[in-house]
Chains A and B, each alone.
Chain A
Amino acid sequence: MKTECLIDLLAQDDTPPQAVAPRLFLWSGLALLGSATVALSILGIRADLVAALGDPVVLMKWLLPLAIALPALRAALRLTRPQPRRVPAQHLVAAALAAGAIWLILSMLAAAPGTLWPEMRGNSLVICLTTITLISAVPLGLGLMVLRAGASPAPMRSGGLLGLGVGGLSAALYALHCNEDSPLFFLTWYGLAILIVGAAGALMGRYLLRW
């Protein structure tokens, strides 16, 4: 096709371009609410939620995942633009992940001999991992579809950041049910679940977000 012909065609297509951010919030947000509502209506919300929110250590079950998720979503949105500009939010994500890892290592070192694994394993690690990843599945998929309209300079990183964002929000929602409050438990399994969703996002982003 001659370049002139192509320009002719492009100039005729006046479908207004759609911004990515509002659609991401709409689709992934709705899907996240839907998935979390289903999960929580099956599992139930912990009875002592208000008391748990008052305990600073337990409060970290919400704050830490949110500290990963919010900057990750911000960075993923920033990376929908093609210019390789600075993306400061991704350093906040790294910092939050590092803080969680350091806290986990310190807790492991401080655990009394013989109690480390029982405490870490808790009673619900399988439910925890599967629920967080399942809550994330549809919002992540829809979010990737929306991000396809973007022009990421780094598709894998974009997908990974979206995954960390969705995974973090899912973990915070799952924490409304989960009553295992040992840092050894939630740092390990919430962290692992968020990383699984992040890895899934990165792998899919690598293919889906190429343009």
Chain B
Amino acid sequence: MGHDGGEAGPGWSELMRAAMAGDRPAYRLLLTRMAPVLRGLIRARAGGMDDGWCEDVVQETLMAIHLKRATWDSDQPLRPWVYAIARHKLVDAFRRRGRAVHLPVEDFAETLEAAPEPDGIERRDAATLIDRLPARDAALLRCLALEERGQAECGARLGLSPGALRVALHRALQRLARLRQEDGQ
């Protein structure tokens, strides 16, 4: 591996370019493919931390990839950028635990993918974190993610136009990322 190949279909960089041009299915596919790679990468360097802790780092990495994707130079391959984000998030998670770590950049290359996340290992209760968001943000995320209703239905329920819902979702994710980062400091 080490290239964008290794799997059938378009590579990560290609998927991200499509995603940034507004192709939502491509984006979802990309994130879904990244998750196990990130999980393997992070578990291999977690130094004895449990799987729940690792999954938190995986999620923080995915959120950062999402919120910071404008900082990827689309002329460059995506993977080194993704690894840099994962490394940063892992170092940050260790630091919050009071552990200083040295993770050489060169070492942050491919690792075997980890098995899919087993059920019920998420350590932080989703409900608690979402509850610390402003009420409308919390209601929106709950409706979209936990109840898995469509945007149209959630918009109607919360009285948001499609445009307002998009803005609200983006802001809510930004706040959630910040909350997660502050959590446990």
Check B85–A151 contact: CB distance below 8 A.
yes
Q: Which of A7-15, A136-144, A186-194, A195-203 is the interface stretch?
A: A7-15
Q: Which residues of B contact A115 (CB under 8 A)?
A: none
A11: contacting residue among B31, B73, B146, B181, CB under 8 A: B31
Interface flag for B49 (CB, 8 Å): no
Q: A80 to chain B: which residues have CB within 8 Å?
A: 71
**With A10-B31, A15-B166 known to touch, is A2 a contact of B122 (CB < 8 Å)?**
yes
Residues of A within 8 A of B92 (CB): 210
- Distance in angstroms from A179 CB to nearest chain B CB is 43
Q: How many A-B residue pairs have CB under 8 A?
A: 110
Q: Are A20 and B71 in contact (CB under 8 A)?
A: yes
| Min CB gap A172→B, angstroms | 29
A84 and B58: CB pair below 8 A? Answer: no
Please tell me if B93 contacts chain A, counting CB pairs below 8 Å.
no
CA distance A14 to B92 in the complex (A): 27
**A8→B28 CA distance, assembly (Å):** 7
A residues in contact with B1, CB < 8 Å = none
Whole-angstrom distance between the Cβ of A39 and the nearest chain B Cβ: 33
Q: Which residue of A lies closest to B171 (CB)?
A: A15
Q: Is the CB of B62 within 8 A of A3?
A: yes
Q: Interface size on A (CB < 8 Å)? A: 30
Q: Is the Cβ of A6 less than 8 Å from the Cβ of B20?
A: no
Contact B126 A5 (CB under 8 A): yes
Across-interface contacts of A210 in B (CB, < 8 A): 92, 181
Q: Which residues of B contact A149 (CB under 8 A)?
A: 68, 70-71
| Complex contacts, B62 vs chain A, CB 8 Å | 3, 6-7, 10
- B78-94 contact mask (Cβ, 8 Å, vs A): 1 or 0: 00110011001000100
Whether B145 contacts A8 by the Cβ 8 Å rule is: yes
Q: How far is the CB of B86 from chain A (nearest CB, A)?
A: 10
Alpha-carbon separation in the docked complex, A150 to B63 (Å): 14
A53 in contact (CB, < 8 A)? no
Q: Does B167 contact A (CB under 8 A)?
A: yes
| B173 & A9 in contact (Cβ 8 Å cutoff) | yes
Chain B residues near A84 (CB-CB < 8 A): 84, 105
- B70 neighbours in A (Cβ, 8 Å): 17-20, 149
Please report the C-alpha to C-alpha distance between residue A81 and residue B22 in the assembled complex, in whole angstroms.
22
CB contacts (< 8 Å) of B69 on chain A: these are: 17
Interface residue from B126, B169, B170 paired with A1 (Cβ < 8 Å): B126
In angstroms, Cα B22 to Cα A151, docked, is 22
- Cα distance, A82 to B72, chains bound together (Å): 8
Q: Is B129 an interface residue (CB 8 A)?
A: yes
Assess the A11–B130 pair: CB atoms within 8 A: no
CB contact under 8 A between A150 and B68, given known A1-B145, A3-B59, A211-B181: yes
Chain B: minimal CB distance from A211 (Å):
7
Q: Give bound CA distance, A116 to B167, whole Å.
A: 60
Does A1 contact B88, Cβ atoms closer than 8 Å? no
- B residues near A (Cβ < 8 Å) are 20, 22, 24, 27-28, 31-32, 35, 55, 58-59, 62-64, 66, 68-73, 80-81, 84-85, 88, 92, 105, 117, 122, 124, 126, 129-130, 141, 144-146, 148, 151, 166-167, 169-170, 173, 181
List 15 interface pairs A-B (beta carbons < 8 Å), by A numbering.
A1-B124, A1-B130, A5-B148, A7-B35, A8-B148, A12-B169, A13-B169, A13-B173, A14-B24, A14-B27, A83-B80, A83-B81, A149-B70, A149-B71, A153-B88
Binding site for B on A (CB under 8 A): 1-3, 5-20, 80-84, 149-151, 153, 210-211
List 3 tightest A-B contacts by C-beta distance, closest first.
A17-B70, A1-B126, A11-B28
